[in-house]
Amino acid sequence: MGPPCAGEVFWTTGLSGAGKSTVAALLRDRLVAAGRCCVLLDGDVLRGILDAGGDYAPHARRRLAFSYARLCHELAAQGLTVVCATISMVHDVRRWNRANIPNYREIWLRVPVEELARRDAKGLYAAAASGALADLAGLHQAVEEPDSPDLIIDNHGAVTAALAVDRIWTRFGLGEACR
């Protein structure tokens, strides 16, 4: 039997299209398969649940990021492993996480903007290029890139989502299941 579970948070951050949702879902699945009580919080889904609508102004993004952080804190305090996929490129949110969430792990999926525009699964970069979208984080709005993440994954080129999860798994020694 593995060690007892203490709550933990895997805060997976990066710009839109960096692969956060895909990597986070694979990580959650692998953690569950290893016997951890795990929940996935995806920023796109949480935005709808918290009725944040289409307000992407910097102050609204910051407020929402703090909501995600407080939710992660509460769930981890109850012993859950939380995988959160969120842009949340705000220094004070990440500092709050480090100060208030034991077992906080910050993972930055770093992808060049040119690659994000090439992927463009949601059509956001094309909309930004045409002028139809004026509030895309990393293009129209400045972001505060992580200054001390626990792990940086350059999530492009030969790096697949599965390989990214392998790197997370190895970096944080996630081989043992909790009892």
CA–CA separation, 169 vs 136, rounded Å? Answer: 31
**Cβ atoms of residues 119 and 21 within 8 Å:** no
Which residue in the list 16, 21, 88, 148 is annotated as catalytic? 88
**Cβ pair 107, 8 in contact under 8 A:** no
Determine whether 16 is an active site residue.
no
Contact 110, 18 (CB under 8 A): yes
One-letter-per-residue 3-state SS of 35-74: CCCEEEEEHHHHHHHCCCCCCCCHHHHHHHHHHHHHHHHH
Q: Cβ(145)–Cβ(94) under 8 Å?
A: no
Q: Which residues are catalytic?
A: 88
